[in-house]
A and B are shown apart, each in its own frame.
Chain A
C-alpha cells in the first residue's frame, strides 16, 4: 500500500509558523502598532549605530558654516549638511542621530526603573494590606498631586542637571503611577487560593511576592512601561529645553530647541523644525506601540480605544 492512501494523509499538520507569518499577522491586526514598532526600531538602529550613520561628529563646531541651510556642502570633506547646521555650525542631522541615543537612554532607563519599582511597591502594598497599604497609598496620593514636569524640575533643582539626574528626576514620579495601577490588579490576585496555598506551604513574603504575584500582574506592568517611555522622552526634551536637563555639548533633541530656536525661527527655520519632528515622531511611535500592547494585553479595552 502506498503511503499516500493512508487515511491520516488527509490530516496534514498545519505548516509551522515562521517569524514572517507572525510579523504579517501583527501587521494585519495592529497596523498602527506596527507603524509604531517600525519607528522604534529605526530609532534604536540610529541610536546603536550612530557612529557609522552620522555624517559628522555631532560636537564638531564649524564656525565657517554657522546656520547653513540644508544641502550645503562642506568644502574640505565634500560631505553634505542634509538638515543644515545650528548656530555653532554643527551638523543637525548628526546631532539628531546622536540625540536618539540620549532620548532612548533616558526613556528606557527612567521608565524601566520607575515601572519596576512601582511594580514591587504596588504588589507589596496589595499583599501586606492593612496599615502598610494605607500609608503607601497615601504617599502615592501625595506624589501624584505633583505634575510630572513640576516634580522633575524640583528634583533637578536639588540634585543638579545632567543625564543621570534627569533619569532620576523622571523615574521618581513614575513610581507611584505604576504602583497604583499594579496594586489594583494585585488586590484581585491576593484572594486567590494559590496564594493561600503558597503561604500555607510556608513560603516567605519575598518569594510569594516575587515568584507568585509579580508574574501575574505583568499585563498592567507592561502597559504602564510602554506608556512611560513616550512620556519620559517628552519630559526629558522639556527639561533640556528649559536648560535644566541634559547639558551641552551632548546631543539631545530638547537641547537643540533650546539654543535660541525661537530667535532663528525666521532666519533659519531648519534649526527649530527638525528636532521637534524627531521628538514628535519618537513619542508618536511609542504611543502607537503602547496602545497596541494595551489592546493585546487588556481585551476589555480592545473595542473602545
Chain B
C-alpha cells in the first residue's frame, strides 16, 4: 500500500508542473502584456515611457527564463505575488473569499449526493419502467440546464412564492456572514447557489449510480440472495448498494474538483463575492498574477482530489493496487 501511495504521489508533481508551464506559456509568451492593456487600451495611444516603467516594475522586461524561475519559485514558497490591479497580496485576495466558495462547494456536493443516490437506485431497481424514464429525463435535464439560468429561475421562484405567501417578496441576504457567526443568515444565503450547482452535478452521479447498480444487480451473489428468498428491498439497499458505490464515489470526488469551475457562473448570478467571481474579475481586468494563481488553485484542487479518490479506490478495492 505504501509503495502505491508514494508512486501515485510522485505522479501528482508532473501534472502540477505541466499545468504551471501551460499557464505561464499562455499568459506570458503571447505578444502584448498587462501594461500595454492597462495604458494602451483598444487602439488608444500609449506613452512608451509609461509602459516601460510599468513593465520594469512588474519585471516583465526580465529574460523569460528568469521570469519563469521567479514564477515557479513563488509557487514553492507559497508567495503568489501581488495582484496587478489592486496591488494586494494574491494570497490575501484568495484567502478572504475561499471559505465561502468552499462552503458552497461542500453544500452543493451534499445536495448532489442526496439527489443522485436515491434516484439512481430507484431507477436501476425499476429499470425500463415509467419511473426509470422519468428519473433519466430529470438527470439529462440537469446536464442540459445551465446552472446560471437555474439560479435566475430559483430567484424568480423565491420572489413569486414569498410574494404569494407573505405578501412581501423575499430575497436571500446579500452580505456574507460565516456560518459560525450567524448560521441562519449563512444558510439562507448559500443554500440557493448550492441547490443550483448541486442539481446540475447530481445528473452525472445519478447516471453513474444507475449503471453501477444495474451491473451489480446482475452479479451472482445477488441472484443467490434472491434465491434464498431475501426481500428485494434488503437486496438492493444492503447487498448491492455498497458495491455499487465505488464508481459513484469517484464521480462525486472528481465532480467536487470541477465544482470550482461551476461556481464561476453561479457566484455571478447570486452576486456572491467568492473565488469564482474573483476569477471572472481577474480575467476581465487582465490581472495576470491573480488569474494564474486562481487557475493553479483549481488545478491543484483537482489533482489532489484525484489523488485522494485513487487512494480511496485502492483502499476499497485491493485489486487495483496490484495491477
Which residues of A have CB within 8 Å of B148? 238, 241, 257
CB distance from A43 to the nearest CB of B (A): 13
In the assembled complex, how far is the CB of residue A291 from the closest CB belonging to chain B, in whole angstroms? Answer: 8
| Docked pose: A291 CA to B139 CA in angstroms | 13
Contact B18–A284 (Cβ < 8 Å):
no
Q: Is B15 engaged at the interface, CB distance under 8 Å to the other chain?
A: yes
Contact-residue bracket for chain B: 35 or more
Say which residue of B18, B140, B268, B286 sits within 8 Å of A242 (CB atoms): B268
Set of chain B residues within 8 Å of A283, measured between Cβ atoms: 143-146
A47 within 8 A of B: no
Q: Which residues of A contact B19 (CB under 8 A)?
A: 142, 145-146
Contact across chains for B283 and A154 when beta carbons are under 8 A apart = yes
B302 close to A (CB within 8 Å): yes
Complex Cα distance A158/B287, Å? Answer: 11
Task: Quote the shortest CB–CB distance from B182 to chain A (angstroms).
Answer: 24
Instruction: Judge if B246 is at the interface, Cβ distance under 8 Å.
Output: no
B295:A242 contact, CB within 8 angstroms:
no
Option from B27, B152, B215, B284 in Cβ contact (under 8 Å) with A272: B152
Compute how far the CA of A147 lies from the CA of B18 in the bound complex, rounded to whole angstroms: 15
Select which of B14, B140, B169 is within 8 A of A288 by beta carbon.
Answer: B140
Min CB–CB distance B298 → chain A (angstroms): 5
Is B261 an interface position by the 8 A CB rule?
A: yes
Chain B residues whose CB sits within 8 angstroms of the CB of A149 once the complex forms: 261-262, 264-265
- Contacting A at CB under 8 A, from B1-55, are 14-15, 18-19, 21-23, 26-27, 30
Residue of B148, B258, B262, B279 with most chain A CB atoms under a 10 A cut-off: B148
A165 interface residue (CB < 8 Å to B):
no
Query: B156 contacts the other chain (Cβ, under 8 Å)?
Result: yes
> Which of A149, A273, A281 has the most C-beta atoms of chain B within 10 angstroms of its own C-beta?
A149
Please state if A287 and B156 are interface contacts (CB–CB under 8 Å): no
A262 to B153, CA, bound (A): 9
Q: Which residue of B lies closest to A159 (CB)?
A: B30
Q: How far is the CB of A183 from chain B (nearest CB, A)?
A: 18
* Residue pair A284, B140 in contact (C-beta under 8 Å): yes
Query: B15, A241: Cβ atoms under 8 Å?
Result: no
Task: Tell whether, in the assembled complex, residue A305 and residue B264 are in contact, meaning their CB atoms are under 8 Å apart.
Answer: no
Smallest beta-carbon distance A246→chain B, Å = 15
B299 adjacent to chain A (CB < 8 Å): yes
A-B pairs with beta carbons under 8 Å apart, 10 shown: A145-B15, A145-B303, A146-B19, A147-B298, A148-B261, A150-B298, A154-B283, A266-B156, A276-B149, A303-B214
For the complex of A and B, 6 pairs with smallest distance between CB atoms: A147-B261, A276-B149, A142-B18, A283-B144, A284-B144, A157-B283
